[in-house]
């Protein structure tokens, strides 16, 4: 099977981890025996019309069994380039954004399979509609976490590698602070109430992120919405506690794990639980087995089943 994967989530100096979950899925599909070519381009209003002829040239020069686009606008580029059959995985912002969301919902009628990174994306949230579900042509296809990259490591060793204070009180906000839907302001409030320093992701290299996770007492995911919630899976894979709003897969992922929560944001309650973790020598939770539910390998198997069903139909 030969597949072209198209995405506009390309890394750059400011966001080196952008789209790493797509690249992880591509790697897992290749390990499963799929011949995958990846076409990645930078987002931005002027880059989308330029991407269309580039994709058209690729699919005219080479034979692909199907095209799989990640993110709604990348899906539009692939569709306008004539990609068929076309699968599009929507990842969250492309559904919830007031403008891009409308475009994503219109795209649903033009593709062979509409996929959400989580079931939550097919439902309304915060008075914004979700993706339309097409009978027999809808699926939930997360990307999944690389469990080889994210695994438990002693906190002291991680802090030494990062040149952090071995006795510091650290919490991690794993997203870029400039993304409003991630609610960096909420994470700052929790850190202030808990008497901790807040470390912030966004500019962290993918290969270093596991060290940052293992170096902290807890990971904070106070988002307004999440298409999936990969950062929570990656933290659990390191057995590090996660405090999250009930977005994306967080309720199923974190439910029943002592030391974690998936609840509406309450600064005082979150800060109290964060203090408990901060005051412990090296708090860990029983998370890795749960994180394995959403490994990149298992999620790639789901994608491969979807590929076969689309080609079979």
Asked if pLDDT for residue 14 goes beyond 80, the answer is no
Asked if pLDDT for residue 287 goes beyond 80, the answer is yes
Specify the pLDDT at position 274: 98
pTM for this prediction: 0.91
Asked if pLDDT for residue 220 goes beyond 80, the answer is yes
> Mean pLDDT, to the nearest integer, of 186-209?
95
Which CATH code is given to the segment(s) 2-144+295-312?
A: 3.40.50.2000
Specify the pLDDT at position 244: 98
Which helix or strand (DSSP H or E) is residue 7 part of? strand 2-7
Question: pLDDT, tens digit, for every residue of 47-79?
Answer: 999 999 999 999 999 999 999 999 999 999 999
Give the architecture (CATH level 2) of 155-293: 3-Layer(aba) Sandwich (3.40)
Asked if pLDDT for residue 233 goes beyond 80, the answer is yes
For β-strands 66-70 and 2-7, DSSP reports them as: parallel
- Alpha carbons 42 and 40: distance in angstroms, whole number: 7
Total length of the chain: 313
β-bridge partners, 197: 170
CB atoms within 10 A of CB 142: 28
Percent of the chain with pLDDT over 70: 100
Same fold, 2-144+295-312 and 155-293: yes
Per the prediction, the chain carries an average pLDDT of: 95
Task: Name the residue ranges covered by the structural domains of the chain.
Answer: 2-144+295-312, 155-293
């Amino acid at each position: 099977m030969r597949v072209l994967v198209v995405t506009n989530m390309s890394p750059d100096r400011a966001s080196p981890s952008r789209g790493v979950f797509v690249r992880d899925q591509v790697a897992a599909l290749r390990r499963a025996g799929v011949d995958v070519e990846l076409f990645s381009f930078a987002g931005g209003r002027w880059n989308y019309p330029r991407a269309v002829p580039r994709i058209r040239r690729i699919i005219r020069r080479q034979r692909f069994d199907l095209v799989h686009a990640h993110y709604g606008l990348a899906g539009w580029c692939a569709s306008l380039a004539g990609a068929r059959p076309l699968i599009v995985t929507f990842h969250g912002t492309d559904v919830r954004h007031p403008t891009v969301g409308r475009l994503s919902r219109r795209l649903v009628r033009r593709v062979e399979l509409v996929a959400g990174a989580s079931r939550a994306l097919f439902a309304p949230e915060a008075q914004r509609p979700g993706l339309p579900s097409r009978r027999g042509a809808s699926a939930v296809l997360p990307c999944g976490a690389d469990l080889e990259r994210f695994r438990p490591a002693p906190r002291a060793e991680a802090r030494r590698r990062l040149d952090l204070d071995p006795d510091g009180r650290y919490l991690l906000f794993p997203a870029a602070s400039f993304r409003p839907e991630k609610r960096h302001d909420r994470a700052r409030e929790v850190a202030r109430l808990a008497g901790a320093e807040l470390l912030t992701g966004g500019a962290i290299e993918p290969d270093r992120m596991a060290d940052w996770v293992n170096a902290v007492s807890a990971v904070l995911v106070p988002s307004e919405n999440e298409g999936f919630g990969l950062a929570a899976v990656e933290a659990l894979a390191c057995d590090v506690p996660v405090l999250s709003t009930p977005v994306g897969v967080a309720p199923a992922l974190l439910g029943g794990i002592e030391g974690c929560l998936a609840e509406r944001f309450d600064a005082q309650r979150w800060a109290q639980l964060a203090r408990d973790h901060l005051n412990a020598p090296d708090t860990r939770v029983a998370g890795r087995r749960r994180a394995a539910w959403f490994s990149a390998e298992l999620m790639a198997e789901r994608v491969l089943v979807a590929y076969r069903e689309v080609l079979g139909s």
